[in-house]
């Protein structure tokens, strides 16, 4: 391929976003909070808001902290024939390489997922969530300066949240493509989730998507995670 060809390929790709391709696309959100933790709206109102915006699926991932009673917000009753909910939470444990508490999204948790033990690390907690069947994502890495060593230590991670609108508003650190780039540069695989972009997913994530695809008549599914 010549340089000119490569440039043309880039230009062509730029003007052919995936959502312009044939097929039915479903819109979802896998990192959201309600008043069960620090969110602004009760679960029912959060769901109604997303439905009004044309979403097809949603996971409420309230903070799984003692101060909130370790909530796994039960939203099963809010499922309908054209909108589905996945049970999840944002998990926290001490400590990242720079001494911050972990922020780990887990979607597909059982309602009886046990609170973390005092000595349970973030990677161990992520592994336990994955073992329970959950899709695991590293939330807003730039917001709390997650390092490549941190990311590599979470063997159970299915994805990296590469854009988070909330942290973009709070401290202008919504973008986390840097972490994908650093992981790829070191030879590790990186899996990205972003609102509006499709994701590459490993085993548990694929299982989650397969379940959602079944709900939506086997059509291709491109989740949002921001």
- Which residues of this protein are in contact with Zn ion, per CB under 5 A? 90, 103, 139
- How far is it, in rounded angstroms, from Cα 132 to Cα 111? 11
What minimum distance in Å lies between the beta carbon of 64 and Zn ion?
Answer: 11
Between 96 and 215, CB nearer to Zn ion: 96
What minimum distance in Å lies between the beta carbon of 89 and Zn ion?
Answer: 10
Between 65 and 156, CB nearer to Zn ion: 65
Burial of 223 (0-12, 13-18, 19+ CB in 10 A): buried
- How far is it, in rounded angstroms, from Cα 89 to Cα 110? 10
The residue of the chain with the least Cβ separation from Zn ion equals 103
Between 90 and 158, CB nearer to Zn ion: 90
β-sheet bridge partners, residue 107: 88, 135
Q: What are phi and psi of 166, to 5 degrees?
A: -60, -50
Q: How far, CA to CA in Å, does 216 sit from each of 26, 102, 130, 189, 193?
A: 9, 33, 24, 29, 20
Between 109 and 139, CB nearer to Zn ion: 139
What minimum distance in Å lies between the beta carbon of 105 and Zn ion?
Answer: 7
What minimum distance in Å lies between the beta carbon of 24 and Zn ion?
Answer: 29
What minimum distance in Å lies between the beta carbon of 144 and Zn ion?
Answer: 8
For the record, the structure tokens of 134 come out as: 């959950």
Between 133 and 166, CB nearer to Zn ion: 166
């Amino acid at each position: 391929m010549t340089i000119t060809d490569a440039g043309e390929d880039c230009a062509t790709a730029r003007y052919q976003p995936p959502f312009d391709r044939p097929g039915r696309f479903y819109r979802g959100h896998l990192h959201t909070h309600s008043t069960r933790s620090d969110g602004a709206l009760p679960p029912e109102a959060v769901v109604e808001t997303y439905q009004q915006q044309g979403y097809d699926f949603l996971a409420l991932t309230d903070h799984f902290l003692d101060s909130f009673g370790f909530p796994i917000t039960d939203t099963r009753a809010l499922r309908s024939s054209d909108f589905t909910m996945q049970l999840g939470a944002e998990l926290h444990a001490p400590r990242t390489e720079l001494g911050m508490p972990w922020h780990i999204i887990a979607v597909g948790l059982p309602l009886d997922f046990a609170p973390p033990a005092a000595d349970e690390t973030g990677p161990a907690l992520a592994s336990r969530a994955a073992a329970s069947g959950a899709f695991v994502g590293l939330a807003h890495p730039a917001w709390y300066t997650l390092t490549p060593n941190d990311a590599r230590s979470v063997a159970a991670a299915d994805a990296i949240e590469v854009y988070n609108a909330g942290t973009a508003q709070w401290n202008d650190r919504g973008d986390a493509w840097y972490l994908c780039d650093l992981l790829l540069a070191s030879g590790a695989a990186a899996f990205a989730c972003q609102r509006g972009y499709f994701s590459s997913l490993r085993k548990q994530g694929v299982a989650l998507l397969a379940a959602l695809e079944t709900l939506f008549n086997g059509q291709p599914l491109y989740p949002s995670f921001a």
